[in-house]
Each structure stands twice: as structure tokens, then as C-alpha cells.
Amino acid sequence: MFTGIIQATGRLERREPSGAGARLTIATPRPLARLALGESVAVNGACLTVVRRAGARFMADVSPETLARTTLGRLPLGRRLNVERALKLGDRLGGHIVQGHVDGVGRLDAITPNGDWLAYRFSAPRAVWPYLVEKGAIAVDGVSLTVFACRAALFTVALIPHTLAVTTLADLKPGDRVNLEADVLLKQIRGMLRARRPVVG
């Protein structure tokens, strides 16, 4: 479980085939040098497990399912990555509840300046559409954000200077693909409502 509050940015150093999946080597700054073997860590919003450490680097195996559902298999080497350690019981929930289970890959369509803020408009895959709600939460490459406008497949978020400074979202350009995770509370509510529909026939 995560909150979408990014603790550091790492860098993708290596991606090697590992069976049908891949093993990623990610360089991290000193605050994350104490990652433990077996620890869960969110990398661009995808929950991975630390399988090896080497100094300021950690390795994580990525399953074929994760490669198919996220951008991790297509990012170029050297790309900066958002990294967040799992939530500890008693920690502040500064963002929203994030599972690290990516629902689909979206695309940055446009960036519009608004003073010190930037408005980012994304297009989302159909699986995410039902969960796009104004003032609702969404994780973009693992970053907890608030939707301030949405219409069908499009949603817009406002990025303050602090978020741009401490995450990789400032690196994005129109056309870039991003990992999206919808608000788990909305997913649970929708699932319960669908389960309560009367069975016909």
C-alpha cells in the first residue's frame, strides 16, 4: 500500500530479460539506500519487490503481466523514475490510497501554463473512464493527483511547482505514455454496485 507521495526519483540503469519477464536495475539516492530484500516499492506507480541490492542500486523483477500493463518495458535506459516505499502503519496519508496496481497506460496530450502552475491534460484508456471524477484522485506514474476536469477519455490535473520539482512529471512531453491507477475506493464502490444488480433470466 502506498500514498502517491513520491519519496525520491531513481534512474533506470539496466533492463535484462528474465524468463518471460525482465529484471530492472534502478539507481537511487541515499535516502532509499536502505531498501530491504523483499520490500515492496512503487516504481512509476507499479508495485515491485526488491530482489537484490548493490550499494545505491536495487534490482526488481517485472512479470509479463506488469510489462504488458505498464510502461516499464518500454522506458529508455537513463529515464528518471518515481520511487515510493510502502506505507508504514501510523504514517500520514498525505496523498490517497494507492495499491501499485496499474489499471492502464495513458498519454499526455497537452501542457498549459497557468502562472507558476501547469495544467496537464491526459487521455486515459477505456478501463479508467468510469473512475474519472472531478475532484477525485488518480495516480499518474505513481504520483497522487486530483482531477479538476474530465470528459470521456480526457482528464486534467494541476501541477504545483513542488510536485514538478520532486517527481518526474516535469520530464514529460506531449505524446509520452504514463501509468494510471484509478482510486481504489471508487473501484470498490463500482464493484459493489455491479454485484447488487438483479440477475435477469
CATH 2.40.30.20: which residues of the chain? 8-85, 104-192
- Average pLDDT along the chain: 92
pLDDT at 20: 92
Q: How confident is the model at residue 31 (pLDDT cuts 50, 70, 90)?
A: low
- The dihedral sign for the CA sequence 144, 92, 2, 171: positive
For 120-154, how does the pLDDT look when each residue is reduced to its tens digit (9 = 90+)? 999 999 999 999 999 999 999 999 999 999 998 99
Q: Which fold has domain 8-85?
A: Elongation Factor Tu (Ef-tu); domain 3 (2.40.30)
pLDDT at 199 over 60: no
For the whole prediction, is pTM greater than 0.85? yes
CB 104: neighbour CB atoms within 10 A? 17
Top CATH class, 104-192: mainly beta
One-letter amino acid at 174 equals: P
